[in-house]
A and B are shown apart, each in its own frame.
Chain A
């Protein structure tokens, strides 16, 4: 479904990604783990078109997408829920969700997806008229994920959905991720909490200072001594 081939990405003169390649197959939940500054967020931003690789290619559904703008990539069915939530603080919850579906014209399908988002996060339905900025941190994360689900994307890029949340909320979010996966969507998950990520993922990639150093099934990565030492706090 998604093939990232040997991409180099720069911020100004600084190389953030060095020959990164990864694959995500339809229906999979793939996780990208690594410490701060390893290039996880950069990888997601390059896939969603906020950054462009200097070298290499990104192919989605058989067509190259690495030169497209973010809105064209959304059109092709990829949505990106960014790190730090980035909800629209001065817009209502309702308008936040509406913008998630801004490119869609099929009203009936949009309404169905809204009902689905409400069923995943019932609290959002109670907060529709409230401004995004007035929500609690956990609610904002729910809104960010809900908003990303409102675009009829088949591939969901999720960046640090558990960051800064209380343990009980982290559990809620991960339970929802399982449900999203069960709905047939494909997920590429970036997560600092490698332990949790490898619990629900099918496969994982390990990034270190802009390079992929390891990839395997989640099971094998959990058993890997080096991963355990560096990322699982073992």
Chain B
């Protein structure tokens, strides 16, 4: 395998894992941008989406229908989460909101354990997602290709949404200045619900891609992805969508780079090294890679 081929191979791996982090980080960033809430329960929406897909396939829905339906379920779960858990404490101190999100996580994960058990379950994977393409010496799993393409399409749609539509622009306005957004006559509750729906739908997509990759679902599957996505969002520039996307891909690239370059016996330290780099990034750019300007509060 030539060096170019090796590089390309790692590039597709990095893009694929970076896509998942980016999709997850967007939802965290949207919600934080508007509400100053770090929603740790965001990871559990991956799990909600994947179990929904599993259930729908189990009752006989075809794959092409079960997947979009599961994404919709994740989006609805996000709306419900905001309505039940976060709206009543809106405006409370940040710590209270953070603790509430821990509570939501525990309730969702334990709820899943009670409903379906703690054991992981195999996820049926259709043949076209099992395929591995060989291009010369390159091997590319079709699920990685699907992940990259799906993320690219979703990012384009999301960009159009937040720059062209009233509700999308309102969302950015609410993140910029909540009081002014209210004074413009923007229905804040609707904007917040929309942010949760979109972020949660994207988490649902990320969850399904993850599930297809590893071939199983379990109630705690969202735990590590949400931590990674949180880190991605922070290094990108927390609270902005471009920051989340950039951070997601940067994290993906760092992980794959260390995986490729580190000798085998060091692999246990991979995450530690990645995080060390991220700390350096934050020391140099405290507002993240994209966040050039400090947020001014009056």
Instruction: Give the B-binding residues of A (Cβ under 8 A).
Output: 48-50, 69-71, 74-75, 79-82, 84, 86-91, 95, 98-100, 102-103, 133, 147-148, 151
Partner of A102, one of B175, B177, B184: B184
A99-B176 contact given A84-B298, A91-B169, CB 8 Å threshold: no
Residues 231-268 (chain B) with a chain A CB within 8 angstroms: none
B179 within 8 A of A: yes
B172 — which chain A residues lie within 8 A by C-beta? 88, 90-91
A90-B176 contact given A99-B170, A102-B170, A133-B293, CB 8 Å threshold: yes
A84 — which chain B residues lie within 8 A by C-beta? 298
A-contact 0/1 string along B144-172, CB 8 Å cutoff: 00000000000000000000001001101
A66 CB to closest chain B CB (Å) equals 16
Give me 24 A-to-B residue pairs in the complex whose CB atoms sit less than 8 angstroms apart, sorted by A's number. Answer: A50-B182, A69-B182, A70-B185, A71-B185, A71-B188, A79-B183, A79-B185, A86-B179, A86-B183, A88-B173, A88-B180, A91-B169, A95-B169, A98-B166, A98-B169, A99-B169, A99-B184, A102-B166, A102-B170, A102-B184, A102-B185, A103-B185, A148-B183, A151-B184
Given A48-B183, A88-B181, A99-B184, 18 new contacts (CB under 8 A): A49-B182, A50-B182, A70-B182, A74-B185, A81-B183, A82-B179, A86-B183, A88-B173, A95-B173, A98-B166, A99-B170, A99-B181, A99-B186, A100-B184, A102-B166, A102-B186, A103-B185, A133-B293
**How many angstroms between the C-alpha atoms of A98 and B186 in the bound complex?**
12
Q: What is the count of residue pairs linking A and B with beta-carbon distances less than 8 angstroms? A: 71
B186 CB to closest chain A CB (Å) equals 6
| Majority secondary structure, B binding face | helix
Q: Decide if A74 touches B183 in the complex (CB within 8 Å).
A: yes
**How many angstroms between the C-alpha atoms of A71 and B167 in the bound complex?**
14
**How many angstroms between the C-alpha atoms of A69 and B183 in the bound complex?**
10
B127 CB to closest chain A CB (Å) equals 46
B187 within 8 A of A: yes
A81 — which chain B residues lie within 8 A by C-beta? 183
Complex: chain A residue closest to B189, CB-CB: A69
A91-B173 contact given A74-B185, A84-B298, CB 8 Å threshold: yes
**How many angstroms between the C-alpha atoms of A134 and B279 in the bound complex?**
30
B204 CB to closest chain A CB (Å) equals 28
**How many angstroms between the C-alpha atoms of A195 and B147 in the bound complex?**
65
A71 CB to closest chain B CB (Å) equals 5
A147 — which chain B residues lie within 8 A by C-beta? 184
A98 — which chain B residues lie within 8 A by C-beta? 166, 169
Q: Decide if A87 touches B184 in the complex (CB within 8 Å).
A: no
Q: Decide if B173 touches A151 in the complex (CB within 8 Å).
A: no
Partner of B184, one of A50, A69, A74: A74
B169 — which chain A residues lie within 8 A by C-beta? 91, 95, 98-99
**How many angstroms between the C-alpha atoms of A102 and B166 in the bound complex?**
7
A146 CB to closest chain B CB (Å) equals 12
Q: Decide if B180 touches A71 in the complex (CB within 8 Å).
A: no
**How many angstroms between the C-alpha atoms of A71 and B187 in the bound complex?**
6
Q: Decide if B183 touches A70 in the complex (CB within 8 Å).
A: yes
**How many angstroms between the C-alpha atoms of A86 and B179 in the bound complex?**
8
